[in-house]
A and B are shown apart, each in its own frame.
Chain A
Amino acid sequence: ETGVTQSPTHLIKTRGQQVTLRCSSQSGHNTVSWYQQALGQGPQFIFQYYREEENGRGNFPPRFSGLQFPNYSSELNVNALELDDSALYLCASSLPGQLYEQYFGPGTRLTVT
């Protein structure tokens, strides 16, 4: 286990709805990245947060947004869900100065119907 937890484990939503996914990092990990992983593909970078500020973003529309809290836990919010948003959503945390040592959570499986 990596010490990174995500909730919920599975989620089913209807097209057009909104969803919030949560990630709890390891203690002291002030950097968290979120990824979308479609079946059979590698993770795609959504965005990264460092000390509660967005610190980089991938090619995802603004309806994907996030938050990082003072305790370094974080949220991924997705508005106006589309069928193509169905995927495994992963968060990964890392220590200051060891940004490439990423510890991934188990993911949240989102299904949009």
Chain B
Amino acid sequence: KNQVEQSPQSLIILEGKNCTLQCNYTVSPFSNLRWYKQDTGRGPVSLTIMTFSENTKSNGRYTATLDADTKQSSLHITASQLSDSASYICVVSARGTNAGKSTFGDGTTLTVKP
């Protein structure tokens, strides 16, 4: 069964600090991995999309890495800001399947405190 596990479940950091969120998956055959940011009560917003051949991708202060051999990804947030407080969701798609049927993780809830 395709699964996506995210850790930690929640994280509290001080403004200005860096943090790293983890995503492990068992989805096969792998097509792509996406990270989304979801503010409370809002829809997810795409941060990065990575395919099998990509092992790192950046979007401003967000940098995602992918190790397709170990089936792990991480999202690194640099110099955190209060507006980074949100849930971060890892989504993995299998090759040859409907994009909508991607497997979503349950997210990591990040709280940035002043």
Contact = CB atoms under 8 A, between A and B. Distances in A.
Interface string B25-48: 000000110101000011111100
Interface of A: 2, 4, 31, 33, 40-45, 47-48, 55-56, 58, 88, 90, 92, 94, 99-107, 109
A57 to B, nearest CB: 9
Interface residues of B, number: 24
B45 A100 contact: no
Interface of B: 4, 31-32, 34, 36, 41-46, 49, 89, 91, 93, 98-102, 104-107
A100 B106 contact: no
Nearest to B51: A100
Contact of B105 (A33, A42, A99, A103): A42
A55 B98 contact: yes
B98 A100 contact: no
